[in-house]
Amino acid sequence: MIKAENLIRKFGSLVAVNDISFEVKEGENLILLGTSGCGKTTTLRMINRLIEPDSGTVFIDGVDVRTRQPEELRRGIGYVLQNHGLFPHYTVAENIAIVPRLLKWQPTDIRKRADELFHKLNLDPVLADKYPAALSGGQQQRVGLARSLMVNPPVLLMDEPFGALDNLTRISIRKEFKALDELVKKTVIMVTHDVQEAFEMGDRICLMDQGQIKQIGTPEELLFYPANDFVADFFKEQRLQLELKSVLVCELLPEYSDRTVSVWERMEQLLQRDVPEGSAIEDLMSAFSAYKKQ
Partner 1 sequence: MDQTQSFWQFVIQQSDKLWSQTWAHIGLTLISLVIAILIAVPVGILITRKQKLSGIVLGFAGILQTIPSIALLGVLIPFLGIGPKPAILALFLYALLPIIRNTYTGIMEVNPAVVDAAKGMGMSRWQILMKVELPLAFPVLMAGIRTATVINVGVATLAAYIAAGGLGEFIFGGIALNNSNMILAGAIPAALLAILLDFLLSLVQKLNLKSIRISYLVLPFIFITLSSFYLLPTQIGGKMLGGFTPEFMGREDGYLGLKKTYKLGIETVVISDAVMYKAAFEKKLDVISGYSTDGRLKAYDLVILKDDKHIFPPYYAAPVVRQEVLDQHPELEGVLNLLSGFINDSTMTALNYKVDQLKETPEKVALDFAKAHHFYKPARVPGKGTIRIGSKIFGEQYILAQLYKILIRGNTDLDVITKTGLGGTKICFDALTNNQIDFYPEYTGTGFLVLLKPDRKTINRLAGDVKGVYSYVSDGFKQQFNIKWLKPIGFNNAYALMMRREQAQSLQIETITDLTNHLNQN
Closer residue to partner 1 (CB): 18 or 91: 91
Which pairs with CB-CB distance under 8 Å and at least 24 residues apart come from 107-115?
110/150, 113/150, 113/152, 114/146, 114/150
Quick check: 99 binds partner 1 (CB under 8 A)?
yes
Number of residues that bind partner 1 (CB under 8 A): 27
Closer residue to partner 1 (CB): 85 or 217: 85
Q: Where are any strands of DSSP class E within the chain?
A: 2-11, 14-24, 29-33, 55-60, 63-64, 77-80, 155-159, 187-192, 204-209, 212-217
**In terms of DSSP bridges, do strands 55-60 and 14-24 run parallel, antiparallel, or are they unpaired?**
unpaired
Question: 98: part of which helix (H) or strand (E)?
Answer: helix 98-102
Which one of 59, 90, 131, 291 is in contact with partner 1 (CB under 8 A)?
Answer: 90
Quick check: 113 binds partner 1 (CB under 8 A)?
no
Q: Where are any strands of DSSP class E within 106-256?
A: 155-159, 187-192, 204-209, 212-217
Give the interface segment with partner 1, choosing from 90-98, 177-185, 251-259, 274-282 (CB under 8 A): 90-98
Quick check: 6 binds partner 1 (CB under 8 A)?
no
**In terms of DSSP bridges, do strands 29-33 and 14-24 run parallel, antiparallel, or are they unpaired?**
unpaired
For residue 26, the minimal CB distance to partner 1 (Å) is 22
For residue 281, the minimal CB distance to partner 1 (Å) is 45
Which one of 1, 50, 285, 287 is in contact with partner 1 (CB under 8 A)?
Answer: 50
Which letter, b or e, does each residue of 89-103 get, where b requires 16 or more Cβ atoms within 10 Å of its Cβ? eebbbebbbebbeee
Alpha helices (runs of H) in 158-236, residue ranges in sequence order:
167-179, 181-184, 195-201, 219-224, 229-234
Residues in 141-200 at the binding interface with partner 1, rule: CB under 8 A: 147-148, 157
Q: What is residue 3's three-state secondary structure?
A: strand
Quick check: 52 binds partner 1 (CB under 8 A)?
no
For residue 133, the minimal CB distance to partner 1 (Å) is 12
Which one of 83, 122, 136, 172 is in contact with partner 1 (CB under 8 A)?
Answer: 83
Which one of 29, 42, 43, 48 is in contact with partner 1 (CB under 8 A)?
Answer: 48
For residue 117, the minimal CB distance to partner 1 (Å) is 15
Binding residues (CB under 8 A) for partner 1: these are: 48, 50, 70-76, 79, 81-90, 94, 98-99, 102, 147-148, 157
